[in-house]
Structure 1
Amino acid sequence: MEELREKGTVSGAGNCPGRNQKPSEASVKSLQGTYKEHGALMIEQMRGNLNTNIDECGNSSVGTSGKSEQYLKEEMCRNVVSILNEFDNITAKVLNEMKDEVISIKGSVTSSIHKCTSLHNDLSQFHEIVQKIGDHKELCLIASIKCKHIIQQALTLLGKSGKAFNVQRKSVHNVKIPSDSYECSIEGICVLTDGQVLVADYFNKRVKLLNQQYQVVSHWDVNAQPVDICLITPSEVAVAVNDHDSKIHEVQFITVNQGKLVSGRKFQLQHECTFITHHQGDLFVTSGQELYKYSLNGKLICRLYQDRSGDYTVDKCAVSPTGDRLYIISHYPQNKLLTLARDGTLLATYSDPALRGPRGLHVTPAGQVLVCGFLSYTVLQVGWEGESKLANLATEEDGVRNPESVCYSSTTSSIIVGQGKEDTILVFRVE
């Protein structure tokens, strides 16, 4: 692809929200430690002050009368009372601060309990509906789609987004067909709800449909290089098509109908497009240096993020299941994964030697973040906060070569990796 020549400055929007609260258990332990340290310090101070007063009284009592001794005793008592009062006052202040902290922790726990209760009730209703539907597959599919966001919220709340995948086995599948003119370069992957897979073959300008055994069963030729593909409905996908020289920048919708690909509506873009993803009616499109949000009918809603400091600084994008986080690959020259808030505010930046030349990017329904190092031949999993690596899932030793795209299939519990100038895709079964 041609490089974008325009350069400029980095810009974002909004204010960075506060960091996540500490877990309740850690907060309570911290409070306990603070209280013990404070108590030990105050007792040591009391001991020192009392010893000083006793020494002073002992030194002063030499050669004094009984009246003077009585005065010194009273003075010592007043000093002791003063020390005790100071201890009580400081302790009361610390205890009040601890009380406020405990109230805050209790509020956080209560909020989490309410969320869990609400999600439990929603999921229970979904379970009852599915039981009543019985073996009616079409109605089950509709119900699962409508409740998908509830299931995603539950998985995120239960912390599944922080669980690292464990690779069990690998398989290799050829996606080249006789009419292909060039080597395959799979720049986009999308998994349908029934387990079929769509891939965007860049050099052959084709979208290919693979069955559950990853065999090509149908294809559709597009008028320029397909750079990415994303799911819109159970049977419809959107394909980002781009050709710099011909100035073709558009979104093409394709429907899967009985094992065939059928072209549908499309709309033009006024900028380059390098990636596309969808979340609850919003299309997120990158241009190489900007991230835009569109409606499904092609209306530009806003520009969420921009970085003109280099070429392909805003290369690819993915959205968390709950829609509160956006992940961006800054391909060149940063070699970084950026995490944004929904309004485009930069929350985190992650870099890693295994992320050299980052290309493929995907977020699973449970919020697990997958990203590929194109030049480092690596597929890795990053924490949902976008700040740390959880695991290297596949490397050159596993057959990874210039990974361009990655996608997770819930149907087969597999990670599918598309590669540049390779006629095969890699499928890693995980748990």
Structure 2
Amino acid sequence: MATASVYIASDQVYDYCCSKCDEHGKNIEAQHFCPECEHYLCDKCVRLHKGYHRQHTVYGRGDIQKWAGFSMDRCDQHSNKLEVHCDDHQELCCSVCVALNHRQCSSISHLPDLAQGFIETVEFKLLPAAVKKIKHVLDGLRNARMKDQASLKDSYKNILAEIKSFRKEITTMLDQLEKKAVEQLESKVKDMDKSMNDDIEACAQMHDQLKTMMEKVQRLTGKQKETNSYIGYKRCQGQLTKAQSVIHEIEARPKEERILFYPNTKIKTFLQGLDNLGNTVHVYNCISKKYISMDPYIICEMPDGHIVKTDFTGLMLLNSQYKKIAHCNLPGYSYNLCHTIGNEVCVAVFIDGFFTNYSEIHFIKVTRGKLQKVRKFTIDQRCTSIAHHQGRLYLSYGTALYQYTMYGELVKKIYENQEIFKCAVSPDGERIYVTLHSFATSLSLVTLDQSGQVLSTFEDPELCGPCLVCVSPNGHVFVCGSMSNTMLHLDREGTQKLATVADGLKLPESVCFSEQTSSLIVGCDHMIHVLKLC
């Protein structure tokens, strides 16, 4: 015997309820969606709908990803009719929202009460202008990013042409090197292109959503116009907030992003020792600055993000917010500091006595938020610079740069020059960067190999006076002129200036690169400057 189907309203909560049944007080799960009518339909109602609207495209559960059409008076999460406003959370709510998320809220308002007379308010009348303004900003940002994208593609073509031209001058041994260089370039372009494309799509999507919402608000009619207008206003306000967030995020990006290619001019001589045809460089830009009022002296960052800083009496341990955690007294003035291995630092302390002057090289561990002395050795002169790479210590004193073991044994003299000021080592240990200073002549940065042979010398009008140098974990070189008050970004070879990262750095005393935050930490006159890089 056949059994008739009976549609009975249920108390069950569905992700989508039939819009037509809901109008008659029935709670029936929707199995279909018509985007043109913006109606969710059960199996029974969809048959009636097809009879009236034969030209409408209706999507079933198999195409549920296409059900996400915007419905002015329906809850996005539960598809039920929006009925109240949570004043605590400033959210439009359906009955399910209230039951699940707003039971404890102190103030719930009925939408028709809130909407009464709202069409005549200043807020509602200003909504079209606010939407128009945001759409204009989004259009501008989208167009700007499209121009950046076009410029990026031109840069890609030009650099690729440079690579090809450079490639023609050398032998077939460069086939693999060429492949690596092109892959590096394409990877850089792909990453940057994706970022730009994401911004373009975000602007377009936000623009279209605002346009659609505003059109719906302006087309509202009928006895529910006031209520739906208020709903439309709240939804537009929410969308405007999202749009503002997108705008702020995009505007915070650098105005101009560049990539450059610098061919290795020594490639014919050092062909066998190279692993790349050249470097495609994304130039660093300073996108924000933070200032901490604190005597700077010498600073270095630990792997866990803590900061170790020297002062007149010893070492100070700071957390990532530059708050003091611990202190360790040392016997003299601490002028040089570097991270060695793990949670250990090495600090050069100058002992200025009545009859003798010398330096103690102290090794100190950071253990459970405390500074613990481990060992030390002595040199009979004032140490002016200290650096470390894989168990090798580089100390400068007198007129030369020396290599030591971690236990104070002199290995060799690397380089001699009476104007040596500071030194740093590349991440692979192949290059040593030494700054030379003289108040009578211009400053220079000398790049050495491990044997002390001079690979290159860099001079620039923007560098003047005693100079600081540091190297990022990916090999970027940053050099600072203490009298010119500038910070320059150089290539890995130390031969070409890529950008002026910062200026106005009054009397810089120390610099280190923070791997945790991609920032330069610069100690200046009674101030620590944190330069956020991109």
Q: TM-score, normalised by structure 2?
A: 0.49
Paired AA for residue 170 in structure 1: K
* Offset from partner CA, 1:311-370 (integer Å, 9 cap, x none): xx1111100011111100102255111111111001111112221113321000010111
How much does 1:191 deviate? 0.5
Equivalent in the alignment of 2:506 = 401
Equivalent in the alignment of 1:426 = 529
CA separation in 1, counterparts of 2:167 and 2:178?
A: 16
CA separation in 2, counterparts of 1:249 and 1:266?
A: 10
Paired AA for residue 308 in structure 2: L
Equivalent in the alignment of 2:521 = 416
- In the alignment, is residue 330 of structure 1 matched against residue 436 of structure 2? yes
Whether contact under 8 Å (2:348, 2:383) holds in the other structure is yes
CA separation in 2, counterparts of 1:173 and 1:159?
A: 39
Given candidates 257, 278, 283, the residue that maps to 1:164 is 283
Pairwise CA RMSD:
2.9
CA separation in 1, counterparts of 2:520 and 2:160?
A: 34
How much does 1:230 deviate? 0.9
Equivalent in the alignment of 1:297 = 407
Whether contact under 8 Å (1:339, 1:386) holds in the other structure is yes
Equivalent in the alignment of 1:369 = 477
- In the alignment, is residue 249 of structure 1 matched against residue 385 of structure 2? no
CA separation in 2, counterparts of 1:160 and 1:29?
A: 15
Given candidates 181, 205, 210, the residue that maps to 2:318 is 210
| Aligned ranges 1:21-420 → 2 under 5 Å | 26=162, 28-29=164-165, 101-106=170-175, 108-109=177-178, 162-175=281-294, 184-186=295-297, 188-201=298-311, 204-243=312-351, 246-308=356-418, 313-333=419-439, 334=441, 335-396=443-504, 400-419=505-524
Paired AA for residue 426 in structure 1: H
How much does 1:297 deviate? 0.9
CA separation in 1, counterparts of 2:177 and 2:276?
A: 13
CA separation in 2, counterparts of 1:209 and 1:233?
A: 17
**What SS does the aligned partner of 2:488 have?**
strand
**Structure 1 212/105 Cα, relative in aligned 2: closer, same or farther at 3 Å?**
same
Equivalent in the alignment of 1:5 = none
**What SS does the aligned partner of 1:29 have?**
helix
How much does 1:205 deviate? 3.2
**Structure 1 332/243 Cα, relative in aligned 2: closer, same or farther at 3 Å?**
farther
**Structure 1 273/258 Cα, relative in aligned 2: closer, same or farther at 3 Å?**
same
CA separation in 1, counterparts of 2:385 and 2:330?
A: 16
* Offset from partner CA, 1:10-36 (integer Å, 9 cap, x none): xxxxxxxxxxxxx9964753687xxxx
4+ runs deviating over 2 angstroms: 23-32, 104-115, 156-164, 243-246
Paired AA for residue 165 in structure 2: K
CA separation in 2, counterparts of 1:293 and 1:255?
A: 22
**Structure 1 307/30 Cα, relative in aligned 2: closer, same or farther at 3 Å?**
closer
**Structure 1 314/325 Cα, relative in aligned 2: closer, same or farther at 3 Å?**
same
Paired AA for residue 393 in structure 1: V
**Structure 1 409/271 Cα, relative in aligned 2: closer, same or farther at 3 Å?**
same
How much does 1:260 deviate? 1.4
CA separation in 1, counterparts of 2:276 and 2:171?
A: 22
Q: TM-score, normalised by structure 1?
A: 0.60
* Offset from partner CA, 1:233-289 (integer Å, 9 cap, x none): 221100011245541212101111111111220001133211111101100011152
How much does 1:292 deviate? 0.3
Calculate percent identity across the aligned residue pairs.
34
Whether contact under 8 Å (2:510, 2:522) holds in the other structure is yes
* Offset from partner CA, 1:166-191 (integer Å, 9 cap, x none): 1111111123xxxxxxxx351x2210
Whether contact under 8 Å (2:317, 2:324) holds in the other structure is yes
Count of residues in correspondence between the two structures: 283
Larger RCO (alpha carbons 8 Å, 6+ apart) = 1
**Structure 1 386/259 Cα, relative in aligned 2: closer, same or farther at 3 Å?**
same
Whether contact under 8 Å (1:161, 1:383) holds in the other structure is no
CA separation in 2, counterparts of 1:234 and 1:216?
A: 21
- Comparing 205-214 with 289-298, greater Cα deviation is found at 205-214
Paired AA for residue 423 in structure 1: H
CA separation in 1, counterparts of 2:514 and 2:164?
A: 40
CA separation in 1, counterparts of 2:291 and 2:180?
A: 46
5+ residue gaps, structure 1, are 1-22, 33-97, 116-155, 176-183
CA separation in 2, counterparts of 1:158 and 1:366?
A: 17
Paired AA for residue 172 in structure 2: I
**What SS does the aligned partner of 2:383 have?**
coil
Equivalent in the alignment of 1:136 = none
**Structure 1 106/161 Cα, relative in aligned 2: closer, same or farther at 3 Å?**
closer
